Structure 1
Amino acid sequence: MPVGCPGNGREGKNLYSTSIVAVDASTGQLKWYFQFAHHDLWDFDGPQPTVLFDWNGIPAIQHTSKTGYMFILDRRTGQSLLPYSEVPVPTVPAWESPWPTQPQSSIESLTEHSAEPCIAIVSGCTPLPAGFTAAPQWSPYQPTPVVFQPWAGGGMEWPPAAYSPRTHFIYSHANYSPINLGVDEANNIAFTPIPGEVDHGVYGAVDTRTGKVAWKIPITGTTPNSGMGVAGDLVFFGESNGLFHAANASTGEILWTFDASKVPNAGGANASPAFYVINGKEYVVYGFGGEPGNSPVLGDAVIAFALP
C-alpha cells in the first residue's frame, strides 16, 4: 500500500523490519538486531546507510531511520552506547494492532517530530490551518485525517551521513515533509493537502560525545537531497537548486559555494560528494543532476574541484 503500512493482519513487533540486523558472515547465524520502530505503521524503514566509527575505544555503528531518532550501538553486541527509552505511545484504533511502546533516543534529533506548533513558510512560521490537527508521533492512522510529521518521507532519507574523527561529529540531514492523512479499517484513504505548507529541512552535525546537536543549516523550499561528506576540516553538501557548499566542519559556517546553474547541462545538487588524491593534489567530485518531481533544476554533469 503506497501510503504507509496499515497494521491489520500482522500483529506483534514484526521482526526484523525497520531494524539493523547483524549476521555472522561465515555461518549466516543471527548475532543481534536492533529495531527502530515496532510494528511499523508509517513506512519508517532505514534507507540511510549506517556509519561505522570508533566511539571512546568501542567499535560503533550509527544509524538514523525515517523516525528521525539517531542511535549509536556497539557493533559487536547491538547494545546502545547512549541511553534510549521505550516510551508509551497511542494505541487507538486497536484494529491496527499498534505496539504500546516505541524506542526514542536521548541523542538530540535534527528532525522536527511534530507539525506543531507551526509549519515553516518562506517568510517565517504559521500555525496549522483551521481544521488540521497534528498527530503525536507514533499515532496510528485514524479514519479522520491528521497531520503526520515525520512520515514516509522521513526523518532521514537515503542521502548518506558522514563522520569526522577530528570533530567526533556525525553530519546528516533531516526532512520536514508532513502529510494530512486518514485511513480506515477497510484501507480507504483520505488525503488533503496542507495549505501554506512548504517542505524544508536542515543539514547539521551531532556531537557523538554529548549526544547534542552542534549546528544546523536550514534548507527551505525543498527537502535536503544531498549526502554529506567530510574531508579534513570541511564538510560538503548540496541543495536541489544546484548550490554546492563547503562549510567549517566544527561550526557549520559556509565558507564556499558553487552555483551549478552557471554550468551548461548541470543540475540540482542531489548526489553525494567523494574525495580522492592524484599526485598529491586533493579533489572533491560531485554529480549534478535531478529528476522531475525531485529537483527544480534538471541536468547531468560530474564536476571535480580542487584548490589551485
Structure 2
Amino acid sequence: MDQIQAMRVFARVVETGSFTRAAETLDMPKGSATKLVQQLETRLRVKLLNRTTRRVTVTPDGAAYYERASRLLNDLDEMDAAMTQASGKPSGRLRVDVGSSVALLIVVPALQDFYRRYPDIQLDLGVGDRPVDLITDNVDCVIRGGDLIEQSLVARRIGNLALVTVATPVYLAQHGAPANPQELEARHTMVNYFSPRTGRPYPHIFEKDGQHIEVSGRYKVSVNESNAHLAAVLAGLGISQVPEFAAQPHLASGELVEVLPGWRHPPIPMHVVYPPNRHLSARVRAFVEWAAELFAQHGMAGGRAVRDVAAPPARREPELAA
C-alpha cells in the first residue's frame, strides 16, 4: 500500500463526503479509492469511516486521524511547492474557476502568454457564473467579483470591475433616454441579472455626488449568466448595467449607447480566492500574479497583498464575476 496516497484518498473522502467524488477529483477508479482506504484501516486497525448505501461519515477515530493527516499532507505539498518555486519552474495540474465573460474576454485570450511563462502547468479552467465549493470540487482557486462573504479562505484582490449602464439605439429610439435613475422604475424595462446561488435579482446601483440609488425596475427577462446578460441587452430587451470591459467593443461600434453617464455603479472588487492549505502552491502563486498583471493591463488594477478573508456581508456576492 502507498500510505501517502491512501491518506490523500481518505482526506478527499472526508472533504467530499463520497468515495465517488473523491475518486473523481483524484482521477482514479472508485474501486481503487475504496481499496486504499480499506488497506489504511487495516494497517491502522481502526475504523475511519462509516459507510451506508446513502452516505459516508467519519468516525471519531477518523476525525482525529484526518486532522493530523491533513496537516502532514499540507506540509508535504508545501515542501514540494517550495522546491518547485526554488527551481523557478512551477509545474503540474492547476484547477481554476472563472466567471463566464471574464474567461471569454480576458483570461482565455491571454493564455498563450501564461503558457509562455509557465509551460509546465496544465490548466483545467472551469467557466461559469455559478459558485463552486473549492474544497468539495477540488478547485485550487477562483476569480470572482464582489465583496467576500466566505470565512476562512485566503484572497488576493487583483483589481476593480467597473460597470456601465447601457441600452441599444433601437430601444432608446422607442422609449427615450432616462434623465435620472428614478425614471428607470417608472418608464423603462430593465434586463436583470439574478444570483446563480440564491435566485435573487441584483439591484441596479447608481451613485453621484454622494447620492446612492438602487433600482430594481420592471423586466421582461432576467438571466444568471454574464454572456447571456449582455446578449439580452444587445437584443434590445431593456437597459442594464454590464461590465465595462464587455460593453466597450459594442459602445465603440454603436451597437450600445451609454445611459446616465453621470451616474456610476461603485467599482466591484475582483479577487482570486483559494483555500488556506494551498496558499504556498507555486502553481497558484504563479497564476495569481499573472492574473493581477492581466487585470492591470485591462485597466482594472487595484490589487493588494494576500490576506485572510473575514469580510462583512456582501452587497454583491462573490459569484458575480461577470
Query: Please, what TM-score do these two structures have when normalized by structure 1?
Result: 0.25
Which structure shows the higher strand fraction?
1
Q: Which has the higher contact order (CA 8 A, sep 6+)?
A: 2
Which structure shows the higher helix fraction?
2
Query: Please, what TM-score do these two structures have when normalized by structure 2?
Result: 0.25
